[in-house]
Amino acid sequence: MKLAIVCYPTFGGSGVVATMLGTALAERGHEVHFVTYKQPVRLDLFSRNIFFHEVNVEEYPLFHYQPYELALSSKLVNVVQEYGIELLHVHYAIPHAYAGYMAQQMLKDQGITLPMVTTLHGTDITLVGNHPVYKPAVTFSINNSDVVTSVSASLKRDTIELFEITKQIDVVPNFIDMSLYKTEFKDCDRTVMAFPQERIITHISNMRPVKRLMDIVKIFEIVEKQIPAILIMVGDGPERFAAEEYAHKAGLKMKIKWVGNSTEIDRILCFSDLFLLPSEKESFGLAALEAMANHTPVISTNTGGLPEVNEDGVSGYTSDVGNIEEMAANAMKILKDDQVLNDFKNAAFAKAQQYDILKIIPQYEKLYNTVLAGTKSL
């Protein structure tokens, strides 16, 4: 099948999931066209069956805000006409489902039917989409999608609770390609980061307020007083500066390595002993799953979809948002003994298998085929 994928090209999880999905579909012989404003960070363009179409927004002095939705829907119309796209899959409702709906309507005028699958990722529902300035448009575009999926059961519940949804929502969880983690990672050298006696704790995110960066530093502060440890902070974002400043004042400057955004997170996670994700909200927590696939247990909150991914007492521990003491105590339970750490590492890896790409891609293919069959019989 020929499909177009719309996503954010940045380091956020929704863009990563869309890229992994498109790549896997292309490997299975589908023709996949990514349509977005920049090449997605994890997209390998030198791959068979993969195309990338950049959306350009023309500047004009009158525009206070650039009309991205307009440019995106026009680009979609052009790509669909030129390449004979049969199906559109948009990731993150805002503004992609809205732009997709507009493209559908324009194409309809030309006698072309383009079914649209919308995947809800989290903040498009729980933080941003729920705001009154966006809510009517988000509700409309969800209800007018042909198929709606959410990345966790928790996000499905939130969507139903927060919006007036008339559409069925199918839960298709996020996934990971476990075949990449079956053999030992070649480039895994923990000595470049830590002394042999130190435990390595890692966090990866876009460092927005929802990630509670200060909690991470404070958890580490408690742990580091009890065992030799370092913290690796991967990513960048608005909360980084304040957290870095707090860490310096707390005398942790030499113990925390801020490495910025990275496209090589497996090279860091492969030698990590623990992953911290104390988020305020998290529809799924893809970074936690990536850690687990790398044999890294997780200390997280129990919010949103996190308990679906991180099984309390098995792949790590979950706590209430803001319960720094408990999270630090749980981190110590895992880190203080080599044998216990090893057991948690193995259990985290075993739990990650539940989200193997091989189990999830067929679920998307089934939805695509069902919606296409419905369209063709019209």
Rounded distance, CA 374 to CA 378, Å?
7
Question: Of the ranges 115-123, 131-139, 326-334, 341-349, which one interacts with ligand GMT (CB under 6 A)?
Answer: 115-123
Say what the alpha-carbon torsion angle 104, 108, 114, 119 is, to the nearest 10 degrees.
20
Task: Judge whether 201 and 273 are in contact, CB under 8 Å.
Answer: yes
Tokens of 158: 């939130």
Rounded distance, CA 95 to CA 72, Å?
9
**CB closer to ligand GMT out of 41 and 112:** 41
Tokens of 260: 């910025």
Half-sphere exposure of 158 (CA within 13 A, CB side): 25
Question: Of the ranges 82-90, 95-103, 185-193, 281-289, which one interacts with ligand GMT (CB under 6 A)?
Answer: 281-289
Question: Of the ranges 36-44, 73-81, 243-251, 277-285, which one interacts with ligand GMT (CB under 6 A)?
Answer: 277-285
> Quick check: helix, strand or coil at residue 212?
coil
156 binds ligand GMT (CB under 6 A): no
Task: Judge whether 304 and 158 are in contact, CB under 8 Å.
Answer: yes
Rounded distance, CA 190 to CA 200, Å?
8
**CB closer to ligand GMT out of 89 and 208:** 208
Tokens of 24: 């896997």
The total of other beta-carbon atoms located within 10 Å of residue 342's CB is 11
141 binds ligand GMT (CB under 6 A): no
- Output the smallest distance, CB 204 to ligand GMT, in A: 10
Task: Judge whether 308 and 173 are in contact, CB under 8 Å.
Answer: yes
Identified binder of ligand GMT from the candidate list 107, 201, 234, 286, rule CB under 6 A: 286
123 binds ligand GMT (CB under 6 A): yes
Question: Of the ranges 12-20, 257-265, 325-333, 360-368, which one interacts with ligand GMT (CB under 6 A)?
Answer: 12-20
Kindly identify the residues of this chain, within the stretch 207-226, that bind ligand GMT according to CB under 6 A: 208, 210
Identified binder of ligand GMT from the candidate list 122, 129, 173, 235, rule CB under 6 A: 122
174 binds ligand GMT (CB under 6 A): yes
Question: Of the ranges 10-18, 49-57, 191-199, 342-350, which one interacts with ligand GMT (CB under 6 A)?
Answer: 10-18
By beta carbon distance, the residue nearest ligand GMT is: 122
Give residues in contact with ligand GMT (CB under 6 A).
12-14, 17, 92, 121-123, 151, 174, 206, 208, 210, 281-286
